[in-house]
Amino acid sequence: MKTAYLLIGGNLGNRYAYLQKAVSLIQQFCGKIVHSSGVYETAAWGKTDQPAFYNQAIALETALSPNDLMLKLLEIETAMGRERKEKLGPRIIDLDILLIDHLILATTLLQVPHPALPFRRFALLPLFEIAPEIIHPILHKTIAQLLADCSDELDVQKKSSYPT
């Protein structure tokens, strides 16, 4: 079993309900969720002329290979109605793999750790809540250190706690 750290988010429709649905489907098809952060609201990153996002980090125990996990997450996005119309555009749901144990991987489908993780406060803050001492396998810094070093100034506000 591996522990995968995921970031789930979305900015269309009932954002909270979509997060809950994604958590349910991930648990059903990908493995056991062992930790969940609270839900955070963040202004859109990169393409700012769109609604704010809700984001949540989860720790998932999974027997799936990294590529199989990514394929399953893409299937869940599609099943939930995600349409990929524009890069960084609005979306019902977005499921990203941030880290998998101490794995370093680069394939045409997946890059682990997620290459933008150190630069995105909206990903680091919920991940910090559930795994502050996890070490980034390339940068050799904890999530707490990455968050302290992050220059992203986007406002990230905790909306609610979400029990594991």
CATH, range 2-160: 3.30.70.560
Candidates 66, 58, 64, 50; CA nearest to 20 is: 58
Enter the pTM of the model: 0.93
pLDDT reported for residue 49: 77
Helices (H), 6-97: 15-29, 66-79
The structural domains of the chain, with segments of one domain joined by +, span: 2-160
Residues identified as active-site: 82, 91, 94, 96
pLDDT over threshold 70, residue 162:
no
pLDDT reported for residue 86: 67
pLDDT over threshold 60, residue 164:
no
Cβ proximity of 87 and 50 under 8 Å:
no
Contacts of the segment 141-147: beta carbons below 8 A, 24+ positions apart: 146/117, 146/118, 147/121
Q: What angle do CA 108, 54, 58 make, to 5 degrees?
A: 60
pLDDT reported for residue 106: 96
